[in-house]
Amino acid sequence: MTAFDRLLTPASTARRAIPIIPVTARDLKAQVAKLSPAQRRWIELHDYKAKPASHLVVSDSAGALAKVYFGLGEDSAGRDPFEFGKLSRLLPAAEYRIDGALPDARLAVLGWLLEAYSFDRYRKGGSLPARLQCPGDVDRGDVLSAAEATGLVRDLINTPASDLGPAELEAAARKIARRFKAKVKVVSGRELERKFPMIYAVGKASPRAPRLIDFTWGPARAPRVTLVGKGVCFDTGGLDIKPPSGMLLMKKDMGGAANVLGLARMIMTAELNVRLRVLIPAVENSVDGSAFRPGDVLTSRKGITVEIGNTDAEGRLILADALALADEEKPDLLIDMATLTGAARVALGPDLPPFYTDDDAFAGEISAAARAENDPLWRMPFWRPYYGLFESRIAELNNSSESAYAGSITAALFLKRFVESAKTYVHFDIFGWTPTAKPGRPRGGEAQGMRALFALIRSRYGR
């Protein structure tokens, strides 16, 4: 049983559960009329008006917790459906049930679980979150799968690089693959240098050897869905070294790998009818005498030569080799996820990752799924005129643009050069981190785009 299992109990009439009553200001008047004089006085003392996301605890005549009101305001449009989840940390540790209608009960329940997450590997746990009985109209297994996948992503990103390098990332992938009987192959050493020269070049300066993690699951003749995740376990910037402030969050530079592992877990848990492949180039971008240099020219797996304009633009190099391998199979759907550019954060902030695809129909489905799953995403263009921004005078490409503009778009265009045969290709430039806590999103590592992609893949390919 997982921590989330314990927090979301099956519906039961045998166990006493404290009702949480969603109310508008209009509903509250009818509710108050049913209360005892002491309880009515309590509500008056607190001047409770059922404002959006507000709550009030009401006791019975013996002083025991009797019910909780949760304010809906008068209009739920534009409200964060995870706001209900904040109650898991605000209420006393007991078991509760939802007694009434919420705008989206499934997302409210998921928000409850995601709010309850904490990363306690290096400290004693805090106060216990409250438990919630799963409403009868909410698929408990589905919500638990999403919460557990999110917890996995957060745990991986939150773990410092001292305890999560390429080998530990491989171990995490193997653990997931083993649970679902997926086949795992790891390429390292001389084979990596020969077959995936850019992955090798980026990771060779670290004593923690680079590798390509590759696992497959599902029937061979099912639609091919391939996930590629950037696994830079720590990024110093290489010889173009980052300033100290730029390294503070670089343990999260494997956030793309964490997200595709979480997505793969959801797909395999749901037993979707896909032939799933997961590719994670896992490296540490370090500095020593063997580090790749600005001005070096690397020959990629695809045969395209790349001049190194900046060693801190290493993510696109390792992804390019992995994408070239993925593309050789001509998958029906090829997705990469990467904490790739600061430019994406400048454009859209930390909470709204951009995605890129030429498949207009698929883009529309992604946007719809993002809205339905409360998993924000925003489409950006593969703007081909910007290809000229990363031309090289001595190689076919430069890994860094000389321009200060359009950094997320040029990075996406760079990756697209390595994909030719996939039926649909989508690139996600995620942040993988919540800098300021929000309902259901505590500060720290975060899954972004994962739930929206799962919903879309499930709708396309089913069980």
Q: Is 211 helix (H, G, I), strand (E, B) or coil?
A: strand
Separation between Cα atoms, residue 323 and residue 228, nearest integer Å: 7
Which helix (DSSP H) or strand (DSSP E) does residue 345 occupy? Answer: helix 342-348
The catalytic residue among 89, 242, 379, 460 is 242
Distance in angstroms (rounded) separating the CA atoms of residues 165 and 170: 9
Angle between helix 450-461 and helix 255-269 axes, rounded to 10 deg:
40
Question: What is the spatial distance between Cα 437 and Cα 451, in angstroms, rounded to a whole number?
Answer: 19
Residue 289 has a CB neighbour count (10 Å cut-off) of: 5
Element (H, E) at 69: strand 65-71
Confirm whether 252 is a catalytic residue: no
Nearest alpha-carbon partner for 31 in 48, 16, 46: 48
Exactly one of 265, 316, 417, 441 is catalytic; which is it?
A: 316
Extract the tokens encoding 367: 């946007």
Question: Tell me, what amino acid is at 43?
Answer: I
Contact between residue 264 and residue 176 where contact means Cβ atoms under 8 Å apart: yes
| Tokens found for residue 147 | 């919460």
Active site annotation includes 154: no
Determine the 3-state secondary structure of 109 from DSSP. helix
Q: What share of the chain is helix, strand, coil (3-state, %, to 5)?
A: 40, 20, 40
Task: Let me know: does 203 contact 285? Beta carbons within 8 Å.
Answer: yes
For residue 350, the tally of other CB atoms under 10 A from its CB is: 16
What does the DSSP assignment read for 253-315? GGHHHHHHHHHHHHHHHTT-SSEEEEEEEEEEE--STT---TT-EEE-TTS-EEE-S-TT--H
Q: Are 184 and 172 in contact (CB under 8 A)?
A: no
Contact by Cβ (8 Å): 405, 396 = no
What is residue 74's three-state secondary structure? Answer: coil
Please compute Rg for the chain using Cα positions.
24
Residues noted as catalytic: 242, 316
